[in-house]
């Protein structure tokens, strides 16, 4: 059965997250409902990873198998005509059966957008995290350097995380200014449930207290959620990019 890859983006405000739920609207559920309407067959859609309730995606990747007589490149246009306005597919194409949106991914990048300062726009409230102060970017990056490497990130996951292992490899983590916002970008092989949001909240808390990277190292080593700072809200987090090896890399 032919395998179709979807590259899409979505506004997470109206969804309980990526994963299908019994009652609440999810991105996966919206895609599967649209596919059933289009093809007449219930089709399972597999994403590169889950995003939490309220979390957005600039570039999410998914796949499904279907023998419907629709050219692979036409799925994007056809599904966009059915999907709710908060989800848009910008590319659909045929891939080999060896491609798996989740297990073939070699790296994922998230961005967290912060609006510092007293002024804000009502159009940003559900899409960025607003804080009233201007943090020290140099200090934040000094702290974030302790994240690089392979660590057990139990400290930064929620109690309900069902991962068999909580060891993850982080290859990059830094803050930078962009268009009046403060952006935290982090890349790794995979992420735990609420891990990025917990890291952001902890880094902001440590920076405000004037702590050094050694403190973050101790927090990571503790492998105890009680040692982490507050969890940053969902609306500032975006799945920015999912990376694959050849022949499926962009």
The answer to whether residue 52 is catalytic is: yes
In a 10 Å sphere around its CB, with 0-12 CB exposed, 13-18 middle and 19+ buried, how is residue 93 labelled?
A: middle
d(CA 60, CA 206): 31
6, two tokens: 């979807």
Residue carrying the six token digits 């990873």: 49
Catalytic residue (choose from 52, 67, 161, 250): 52
Bridge partners, residue 65, by sequence: 3
Bridge partners, residue 94, by sequence: 4
- Residues classed as catalytic: 52
């Amino acid at each position: 059965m032919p395998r179709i890859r979807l590259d899409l983006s979505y506004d997470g405000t109206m969804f309980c997250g990526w994963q299908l739920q019994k009652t609440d609207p999810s991105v996966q559920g919206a895609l599967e409902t649209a596919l059933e309407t289009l093809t007449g067959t219930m089709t399972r859609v597999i994403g590169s990873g889950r995003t939490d309730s309220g979390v957005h995606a600039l570039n999410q990747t998914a796949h499904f198998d279907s023998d419907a007589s629709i050219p692979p490149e036409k799925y994007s246009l056809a599904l966009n005509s059915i999907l709710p306005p908060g989800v848009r597919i910008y590319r659909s194409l045929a891939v080999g059966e060896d491609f798996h949106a989740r297990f073939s991914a070699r790296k994922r990048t998230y961005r967290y957008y912060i609006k510092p300062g007293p002024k804000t726009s009502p159009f940003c409230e559900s899409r960025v995290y607003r804080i009233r102060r201007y943090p020290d970017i140099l200090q934040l990056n000094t702290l974030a350097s302790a994240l690089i490497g392979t660590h057990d990130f139990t400290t930064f996951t929620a109690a309900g995380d069902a991962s068999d292992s909580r060891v993850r490899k982080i290859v990059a983590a830094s803050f930078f200014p962009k268009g009046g916002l403060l952006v935290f970008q982090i890349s790794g092989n995979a992420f735990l449930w609420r891990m990025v949001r917990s890291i952001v909240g902890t880094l902001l808390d440590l920076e405000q207290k004037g702590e050094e990277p050694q403190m973050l190292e101790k927090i990571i080593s503790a492998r105890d959620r009680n040692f982490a700072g507050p969890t940053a809200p969902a609306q500032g987090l975006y799945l920015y990019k999912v990376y694959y090896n050849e022949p499926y890399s962009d």
